[in-house]
Amino acid sequence: MAEPAAPSFGTRAAAAIAEHGPLCVGIDAHPSLLEAWGLPQTPAGLLRFSIGVVEALEGRVAAIKPQVAWYEAYGSSGMGVLEQTLEACRQAGILSIADAKRGDIGSTMQAYARTWLAEESSLRADAVTLSPYLGAGALEPAFELAEATGRGTFVLALTSNPEGASVQHRGAPESVAAAVAEAVSQRNSGALSASEQVMPGEDSNYDRFVTGPHGLVVGATTGEAIAQVGVDLAGLDGLVLAPGYGAQGATAQDLGAMFAQVRGRVLVNSSRGILAVGPEPQALQGAVSAAQAELSPELSAA
């Protein structure tokens, strides 16, 4: 008899959200944060910063999202630090999301997919962020590899930066963002294997965690734009990654209203709002606990 397929990233992430809460902490190694932590703006400082976050938050958050650009800024040494950070997440049992925002065509997209999603890659993460603006269909290599390896993707759909509206809102209510969301929803509809519908073991709550591996990035400050541009979250059957909580202005109540259709499947990212209280582990843990206390009542599955 064939071995049952491993749970998809979406299923694992939904279970992690149920256990730890909806908070995802971004490792945004901005120079001002390194300075505030008393660290040099060097690969060594970047390593201490990154590993300090992972060690402080083990067992406390569903996911950690390293911002790849700040590692790339230090060249090959910085990418080596990213490798160590992703390995630290694996050892700590924390889901990792590489915030790389990759998107290309053909063999180049295949190379990006292998970098972030292949089992043999030293930069493999549990999921990677993708840009669909060369066409959502061009992301097929990443979708396929994520499904084959039990990993996931988060596709930029509706971002909160002001510049994004000129492209993403175009054609509302049948907008570009709505078309991206629909493409991801369709991909999820065929991604979940039949074996995932059968509970492996004795956890009677397993079925409510079954979730597709492909999610959307929807900014936490986009508010009513979700409905105005026609993005259908109810039909997604996947996760939402929502940056913009806290320091960027979105409140837990805002998020509860925006994401009522996907409760239990939202990862709310906070970077500077958490990291600014460091470097002491107790301070980071306190900030995480306070954020979870605000977010969980608004976003936990009913």
pLDDT tens for residues 109-165? 999 999 999 999 999 999 999 999 999 999 999 999 999 999 999 999 999 899 999
In Å, how far are 40, 99, 110, 280 from 248, measured between CA atoms? 26, 18, 34, 23
* Of 143, 127, 229, 126, nearest in space to 186 by CA: 143
Q: Is the pLDDT of residue 42 over 50?
A: yes
In Å, how far are 57, 77, 179, 257, 294 from 173, measured between CA atoms? 40, 45, 10, 20, 32
Cα separation of 260 and 104, whole Å?
33
Domain ranges of the chain: 9-194+207-299
User: Which fold, 9-194+207-299?
Assistant: TIM Barrel (3.20.20)
Say if residues 64 and 25 touch (Cβ distance below 8 Å): yes
Say if residues 5 and 210 touch (Cβ distance below 8 Å): no
Token pair listed for 281: 């582990």
Chain position carrying tokens 């660290």: 39
Q: Is the pLDDT of residue 292 over 70?
A: yes
Q: Is the pLDDT of residue 208 over 70?
A: no
> What is the structure's pLDDT at 97?
98
Q: Which of 30, 90, 101, 272 is catalytic?
A: 101
pLDDT band at residue 190 using 50, 70 and 90 as cut-offs? confident
Taking residues 276-295, report their average pLDDT.
97
Model confidence pLDDT, tens digit, residues 228-280:
999 999 999 999 999 989 777 789 999 999 999 999 999 999 999 999 999 99
Q: Is the pLDDT of residue 1 over 90?
A: no
DSSP state of 2: P
Q: Is the pLDDT of residue 217 over 60?
A: yes
Q: Can you spell out the DSSP letters for 27-82?
A: E---HHHHHHTT--SSHHHHHHHHHHHHHHHTTT-SEEEEBHHHHHTTHHHHHHHH
Is 65 tagged catalytic? no
In Å, how far are 20, 258, 282, 293, 296 from 287, measured between CA atoms? 14, 23, 9, 10, 14
Taking residues 71-92, report their average pLDDT.
98
Say if residues 104 and 112 touch (Cβ distance below 8 Å): yes
Cα separation of 271 and 248, whole Å?
10
CB contact set of 45 (below 8 Å; sequence gap of 6+) = 34, 39
Taking residues 74-94, report their average pLDDT.
98
